Structure 1
Amino acid sequence: MRWWDIDPVLELERDLFPEDAWSRGMFWSELAHARGPESTRCYLVAESADGRIVGYGGLAAAGDVADVQTIAVARDHQGTGLGARLLAELLRAATAFECPDVMLECRVDNVRAQKLYERFGFVPVGFRRGYYQPGNVDALVMRLTTGPDSGTAAGSDPVQGTEIND
């Protein structure tokens, strides 16, 4: 993701997460940590064949733990495998950051996302009550331990006509 991707990403963000959408400043702040030798973030966008941003994802690394900050897929691309592909790329980034543990929060009412994360080996480890505001929705906290001894492999088939860029 680059600075010029923020406006189209914000449109998608507001459509998918109207109550708790990230602000422009939040994306700028994350991108400020995504470049250079001291980077601790990886943000990706997925573009359709016509150049429209149809998905994005972000990961933050701290020490030996990475945190999936966000994954979103346009409504007309949900169910195509794009979310899995974005997650696989974020897990590769966690490996590049040398983070064997990956955490994330997921709305307790987002069963579709939970199933995706479980397919990749994430397991529930707790809850954060009222995490998503203003709706006061709980978050399910999930964890994945990766590495050569974990038995977890990140990968997925490419989504035809969709390109992922950092």
Structure 2
Amino acid sequence: MELRPLRASDFDRVLELERLLFGRGAWTYGMLAEELAGLGRWYVVATDAGEPGTGKTAAGPEPVVGYAGLWFDGDVTQVMTIGVDPAYQRRGVGRTLLQALVDRSRQLGAEAVLLEVRVDNDPALTLYERFGFERLGVRKRYYQPENKDAYTMRLDLRAEEITDSDEDVSGDGGASEHGGVSGGGADGEGAAVDDGAAEGAAGTKGDAA
């Protein structure tokens, strides 16, 4: 599996995954194009040349098996979406995408990473909390048209820097192991990680699968 920037040639495949993962909440071509054209956006795709579980190499271009994106407003990053092909879920694709978003947030100098997730998405909540995200509150009926509530969550990158500094001074010699992030966005649709069913995050989208 490799990560690379999302290209216009990936639109059809990303929209196919959107419909598969999010149903009525899926982005349209126009919505995706408008989102990618926005300031401060950063999107990547995960590709895999092998067929799931076979070890065989696929003919032609490596297929897109996942995608993710964020928005940087100058202070914090907002996870806009993460989606993973169901055939590739539980294989680490979602975690890799989450890690990429957090790494990019650090490179941008963001103070924190924000996201939303459905309150009933226990697998996603477990994943986010494992990577250091903390719950801030609840947004009622955030995900539409499903009319589902969302937790808002935050990963404080400044706290990570303080922790790393303290560890170095104390002689532990280790950096924090915080990792990933996932999400959806403001429209109330969402993202999907490989650790569970529909989930969501923050920004301009909303739910995951």
Q: TM-score, normalised by structure 1?
A: 0.84
Deviations along 1:77-136, one digit per CA (max 9) or x if unpaired, are 111111110000001111122102110011122221111111110011011111111110
- Say if 1:40 and 1:153 are closer, same or farther in 2 by CA, change over 3 A: farther
1:149 to 162, 186, 190: 162
Deviates more, 1:24-33 or 1:138-147: 24-33
- Aligned position for 1:46: 46
| Residues 11/153 of structure 1: CA separation in 2 closer, same or farther (3 Å cut) | same
Which residue pairs with 1:17 in the alignment? 22
Kept after mapping to 1: 8 A contact 2:132/2:179: no
Q: Alpha-carbon deviations, 1:39-68, whole Å to 9, x = none?
A: 511101011113111100010001211001
Root-mean-square deviation (CA, aligned residues, Å) is 1.6
Unaligned runs of 5+ in 2: 1-5, 50-57, 165-175, 181-209
- AA paired with 1:43? Y
User: Structure 1: how far apart are the matches of 2:22 and 2:122?
Assistant: 15
In 1, Cα distance between equivalents of 2:108 and 2:32: 20
Bigger CA radius of gyration = 2
Residue 30 (structure 1) aligned to one of 30, 35, 38? 35
CA distance in 1, matches of 2:163, 2:31: 33
Provide the identity percentage.
Answer: 46
2:145 to 134, 140, 152: 134
1:7 corresponds to which residue? 12
Structure 1 residue 123 and structure 2 residue 128: aligned? no
How far, CA to CA, are the matches of 1:101 and 1:26 in structure 2?
26
Q: Runs of 5+ in structure 1 lacking a partner? A: 34-38, 157-166
Aligned counterparts of 2:37 and 2:89: Cα–Cα separation in 1: 29
The answer to whether the Cα contact below 8 Å between 1:92 and 1:154 also exists between their aligned partners in 2 is no
Q: 1:30–1:150: structure 2 CA closer, same or farther, 3 Å change rule?
A: farther
**Per the alignment, do residues 150 and 66 of structure 1 end up closer, same or farther by CA in structure 2, a change over 3 Å counting?**
farther
| TM-score normalised by the chain length of structure 2 | 0.68
C-alpha separation in 2, matches of 1:87 and 1:107: 17
Q: What is the number of residues matched between the two proteins?
A: 151
Asked if 1 retains the 8 angstrom alpha-carbon contact of 2:132 and 2:178, the reply is no
Displaced runs of 4 or more, over 3 A: 150-156
Q: Aligned with 1:138: secondary structure?
A: strand
**136-145 vs 15-24, which moves further:** 15-24
